[in-house]
Amino acid sequence: MGRIPEDEVARIKREIALERVVAASGIELAPHGKDLVGRCPFHDDKTPSLVITPSKNLWHCLGACQTGGSVIDWVMKAEAVSFRHAVELLREQHFSSLVAQPERGGRPAEDGPRHHPKKSQRTKLPAFADGGVEAAALMLRVVEHYHEQLKQSPEAREYLQSRGLGSPELLEHFKIGFANRTLGYRLPTRQVKAGRELRGQLTELGV
């Protein structure tokens, strides 16, 4: 497996707005001077100790964690995945649709324009955050997720075509999918009960 180019890593750290990734996981952020603060999900945080600095696109926990870093570091810790997996998740989720972030208060960002993912025009799958999902329904969501990933990946479809399996009717009938390890990005973080329970269900199902 090839090494991820340094310029791509730098681009992810620079262009994917950390505060939006954090907010998307359900963490409420409030302005505090030039920073944003919220409760850190990685420990029992009664008062906001998570600090995000949008101008630098960095985060730091001033509480029990005493750790921080870039948007990649955040995904690694929140999803308990490797550096490579975190990069793949961010690339898949955001890099197909980057647009310039609106200026804050009429002032440009200190380190140049930040980018954030625009609303996707792709078909949305049902959220994986519902409680009490039965096994059959949960597996159907997993199948639909990876089937959607196949439809969005020209490379995967070209590979199937080379194997004589590229017929749209065949792909749709058997719900053939592309397991590109993006399912974890659709789940609640491991630091919340719903995320742990859902991941436990998926593990029991062999996913």
Comparison of pLDDT for 41 and 70, the residue scoring more: 70
Contact 22, 41 (CB under 8 A): no
Between the ranges 24-28, 34-38, 79-83, where is the mean pLDDT highest?
34-38
Q: Which domains are present in the chain? A: 6-117 (3.90.580.10), 135-204 (no CATH)
pTM above 0.75, yes or no: no
DSSP-derived secondary structure letter, 120: P
List pLDDT tens digits, range 122-162: 333 344 544 455 777 888 888 888 888 888 888 888 888 88
Contact 79, 86 (CB under 8 A): yes
Backbone φ and ψ of 117, nearest 5°: -70, 130
Predicted local confidence at residue 191, as pLDDT: 65
pLDDT mean across residues, the chain: 78
Q: What amino acid occupies position 85?
A: H
128 vs 138: CA distance, rounded Å: 8
Mean pLDDT of 81-109: 61
